[in-house]
Amino acid sequence: MKRELIYTILDLEEWNQEATCRFCRGLNKAVCQIRTRSKVTHSIIENDYACESCKEKFESNELPKCERCGRLKTKSNIDFSSGEYICDCIKDNEDLEEKELPALPQEERQSTFYERQINGLREELATTEEELQIEREEVANFHEKSKEWNKKQKQELLDRIKKLEAEIEQLKKLTSQELGAKLAAYEAENERLKTQLEQLTSQQITQIEAPPKNGSIKNFFKFGLK
């Protein structure tokens, strides 16, 4: 079975506060260490120091790793003359098959135990952040939709107002006789609508009391319509 690695971001140890980053150029102050362990045997493979920006890169999975063994590529492994990265796994001719027996639970040392906890918490944090992001997007979507709906409602109202205003203008031009006729027509229409409404209301009551049987539903709805 090929060796699997676990990486854990840890705070700098007290005696390593002055450490510099092992990943980028220059002497950038390290802010954390990244410990690499074998997943099965728990043995430490590497313990590298990283500056703030390299830590962020590591967290977003942008810090390059050796394609062969999975070690993080440190600058000390870049060959001076060729500029090529030569990993310890090549230098030491490492066998990448996991031959050692897995560590038993009671053999797990406290440091490994805490590293596992740290990794678990980090994963939880990442999931929560992801969920939060989805929720934020949903809220933004909702706002966008209600904005659109509002806009539509507003436009409909504006259209109606325009229509009514045009109608008023028309009415103003009428003679008093024409106006009287129009008014009578409106009143008649109003009466008709009121009667319809009353019929509908009493029908609803009847419907609740005695729902129509199959077949009679058509007749039932015809009632009250013009």
Q: How far is the CB of 86 from Zn ion (least distance, A)?
A: 9
d(CA 140, CA 135): 9
Task: Supply the minimum distance, in Å, between the C-beta of residue 140 and Zn ion.
Answer: 35
Q: Which is nearer to Zn ion, 95 or 209 (CB)?
A: 95
Amino acid present at 85 = Y
Pairing of the two strands 5-11 and 32-38: antiparallel
Task: Tell me the CB-side half-sphere exposure of residue 30, using CA atoms within 13 A.
Answer: 22
Question: Is residue 224 within 8 Å of 205, Cβ to Cβ?
Answer: no
Stretch (H or E) spanning 110 = helix 110-172
Kindly tell me which of 34 and 51 has the beta carbon lying closer to Zn ion.
Answer: 51
CB 84 to Zn ion: min, Å: 13
Q: Name the residue nearer to Zn ion (CB basis): 40 or 66.
A: 66
- DSSP codes of every residue in 24-91: SSS-PBP-EEEEEEETTT--EEEEEEE-HHHHHHHHTT-S-B-TTT--B--GGGB-TTT--B--HHHH
The residue ranges that bind Zn ion (CB under 5 A) are 21, 23-24, 28, 51, 54, 66, 68-69, 71, 87, 89
Residue with Cβ nearer Zn ion (90 or 158) = 90
| Residue placing its CB nearer to Zn ion in the complex, 9 or 203 | 9
Q: Minimal distance in Å, beta carbon 90 to Zn ion?
A: 6
Do 38 and 5 form a contact (C-beta atoms < 8 A)?
Answer: yes
Closest approach, Cβ 21 to Zn ion, in A, equals: 3
